[in-house]
Amino acid sequence: MAKQRQTEHGELLKGNTPTLLLAVLQEGPLHGYAIAREIERRSKEALCLGEGSLYPALRTLESEGLVVSRWEPQPSGPARKVYELTDAGRAEIVARTRSWREFVEAVENVIGGTPHVSQPI
């Protein structure tokens, strides 16, 4: 069932990946793998980001000044690249959250709203 939902949500995920990344990074710095797992966890496995979409999106956010990265040494194993929101990134996720909620409300109004009743001519 989770795999089917991932496929169904694929197109929506593509357009909203940056927003999801910013939302997860609001909680604090994380490395790429942890970001992807947190999106899966929060979405109850309905959303799954592969490396092919995750890292390009993180690089884009970094080039836009919304996140910064640094290499963090590990007690055992190689250093990991950790991503963190900038002040601009924090402002951006607030704006994107507001915009998303307005969009969801508009779609809900269409889906669950009162059907149009034709007026006699």
> 69 near 54, Cβ under 8 Å?
no
Percentage of the chain with pLDDT > 70? 87
- Quick one: pLDDT at residue 9? 63
pLDDT by residue (tens digit) across 97-115?
A: 999 999 999 999 999 877 7
Per-residue model confidence (pLDDT) at position 1: 43
Give the least confident one: 33-37, 38-42, 45-49: 45-49
Q: How far is CA 53 from the centre of its chain?
A: 11
60, two tokens: 């884009």
Per CATH, the number for 2-112 is 1.10.10.10
Q: Is 79's pLDDT higher than 80?
A: yes
Give CA separation, 25 vs 7, 47, 60, 72, 111, in Å.
24, 16, 15, 16, 31
22-31: average pLDDT: 96
Q: Specify the pLDDT at position 73.
A: 92
pLDDT of the residue at 100? 92
